[in-house]
Amino acid sequence: MDSKPELIYDWNARGGDVQACPHPIEFDDETLRDGLQSPSVIDPPVEVKVRLLHLMDRLGIQSADIGLPGAGPRHVNSAAALAREIVSSKLAIRPNCAARTLVRDIQPIADISQAVGIPIEICTFIGSSSIRQFVEDWSLGRLLQHTEEAVRFAVGLGLPVTYVTEDTTRAHPETLSELFKAAIAAGATRLCLCDTVGYATPNGAQALVAFAQEIVQRENPAVKLDWHGHNDRGLGVINAIAALRAGVHRIHGTALGIGERVGNAPLDQVLVNLRLLGWIENDLTALGEYCRTVSEASGVGIPINYPVVGADAFRTGTGVHAAAVIKALRKGDVWLADLVYSSVPAHLVGLDQKIEIGPMSGESNVIFWLEQRGVEPAEALVKRIFARAKDSDRVLTEEELWSLVGQS
């Protein structure tokens, strides 16, 4: 259908939302570190983490946090196994590890890097907000000392360093300025702006990015900016988009948004939104497998109404909705069927539209269901199934429907 683009008027484009991002977008997957800090998740075995690493690579995610080796031997062994997998399988994804801004946390990462033979980015973090400093009895002088010592140590080992200021979105500009300048002077190649407790609004995220950009331009324009957001106020996805629009180069997130408290920005939703905006071209057909694997491995269920990969995302039993999808499919146009009652094309993420039969269905649902399964939609059969559906308080199961077919 040559007129496809004309079938949808895009108010998002009119509002400026689909303007191309001014630079390539990178992603850092925190599922295997920050995601596992949720008090409710299961830390999966290494072989499952390896499978997830491959799925991240298939999704075009550039880097992954493979652990916090400073937390002990279990974490050292897991991070080392994942780093070896990247080397042996020749994956494109690059590893990084989290570390407190302490030499003793960085050394185990350097040891893994040396043993495996691959550079591992050091993401060294330190609290930056006044509330954190007050609780911990930290002075700015102490923070600067730790920053300079840790960053110089890692850089001296030949490892790339991302300097991560925790709670950046609640920190004073004067403090951030001093910390950023110290980290850049010591050799950090990235600054990571952290919305550690999900405090920021989109406008706040943009203001913070603009502030950090000014410092970078003065100190070293080659330094890149990251955004690490949490979802406490439900703004994880929109803040990530706002930060990108403001100029950050890399977005952090986790599968299904797992992580501390209510979790991190859900990377799966960020990827889908950026693909729909036309800002990235990543192949997202493995997204469902990625999310299901994380769900099964971590013990965190996927809500049925979760965007894109929830069970009901591309499923309808409502007569009017189903009829439109069915009519589109009868035109032989999957694109049309995907979008007539959805803003996300199911095939973009390797899925299909599903038509169910329930109390809100029309006869067209029944006819379509039968035809899809090679059953002749005889009038008596259609009436019998339709009557049963109308008497039901829910969508009929496959078993119930086949039982009705068998009564013919």
pLDDT at 6: 82
* C-beta separation of 355 from 378 below 8 A: no
Q: What is the tens place of the pLDDT at every residue in 275-285?
A: 999 999 999 99
8-17, 47-56, 109-118, 208-217, range with the lowest pLDDT: 8-17
Mean residue pLDDT across the chain: 94
For the cut 80, the answer to whether the pLDDT of residue 376 exceeds it is yes
CATH number 3.20.20.70 is the correct assignment for the domain at 11-298 = yes
pLDDT at 19: 67
Q: What is the tens place of the pLDDT at every residue in 159-218?
A: 999 999 999 999 999 999 999 999 999 999 999 999 999 999 999 999 999 999 999 999
pLDDT at 2: 43
Question: Comparing 24 with 174, which gets the higher pLDDT?
Answer: 174
Q: What percent of the chain has pLDDT over 70?
A: 98
Q: How far apart are CA 87 and CA 160, in angstroms?
A: 18
Four-CA torsion 261, 100, 125, 59, nearest 10 degrees: -70
Domain ranges of the chain: 11-298, 315-406
Write out the two tokens for 321. Answer: 């909705």
pLDDT at 194: 98
pLDDT-derived band at 9, boundaries 50, 70, 90: confident
Q: How much is the pTM?
A: 0.94
pLDDT at 45: 96
Over range 260-283, report the average pLDDT. 96
* C-beta separation of 42 from 298 below 8 A: yes
pLDDT-derived band at 311, boundaries 50, 70, 90: very high
Over range 82-92, report the average pLDDT. 98
pLDDT at 16: 74
